[in-house]
Amino acid sequence: LRTRGVHAPAMQIHAGGCVALYGPSGSGKTLLLRAIADLDEASGDVWLNDRPRSEFSGPDWRRRVMYLAAESHWWSPRVRDHATEWRPADLDALGFDADTLDLPVQRLSSGERQRLALARALAHRPSVLLLDEPSANLDGPNTERLERLIADWRAASGGGVLWVSHDPQQRGRVASRQYRMLAGELTEATDD
């Protein structure tokens, strides 16, 4: 896969697996995730369950291969309006109750928005999550909640995860394989 200065020769995420991606800021990690999600133009092939991306409509691909940005975007004033089937168990796992859905988005902290963005993504029932530093704004207990929910989702759904993290301990906890991005070049990390 190639896009704006990013070259990713090959990467595979098995069903239920988690692959970590790391590298210095500006190395192309977010660009790679956005290209996989079909949010930015790229050349090359991306497959989901033995089907090429070209066999999916853009909206269907982006629902199945869900990109969760480092800073979530909210387009409606109330939390509830952002998904039709919020899953109460996911909200509870992230430390929220059902009343949270009636809150104004502007009242939420950046960490609350980040956790709710994960619940919103899971409400769409994706096959793959592309996570761009999903715990960057979270304290220790909320990071644990988020990691546990993603692990539970992977086990229950067989969904795959590509997880960008600068934290080597977190990468070791959540991922079975790691890739490094350096100056736009993706390589599998064998020494981490």
**How many other CB atoms are there within 10 angstroms of residue 32's CB atom?**
28
Q: Give, as one character, the DSSP assignment of residue 46.
A: -
Question: What pLDDT was estimated at residue 191?
Answer: 62
This prediction has a pTM of 0.95
- Mean pLDDT across the chain: 95
Structure tokens of 62? 């982006």
Q: How confident is the model at residue 190 (pLDDT cuts 50, 70, 90)?
A: confident
Give the CA diameter of the chain: 47
pLDDT in tens, 57-103: 999 999 999 999 999 999 999 999 999 899 999 999 999 999 999 99
User: Is 80 exceeded by the pLDDT of residue 192?
Assistant: no
Q: Is the dihedral of CA 140, 15, 12, 48 positive or negative?
A: negative
- Torsional sign, CA 72, 162, 127, 140: negative
- Per-residue pLDDT tens digits for 152-189: 999 999 999 999 999 999 999 999 999 999 999 999 99
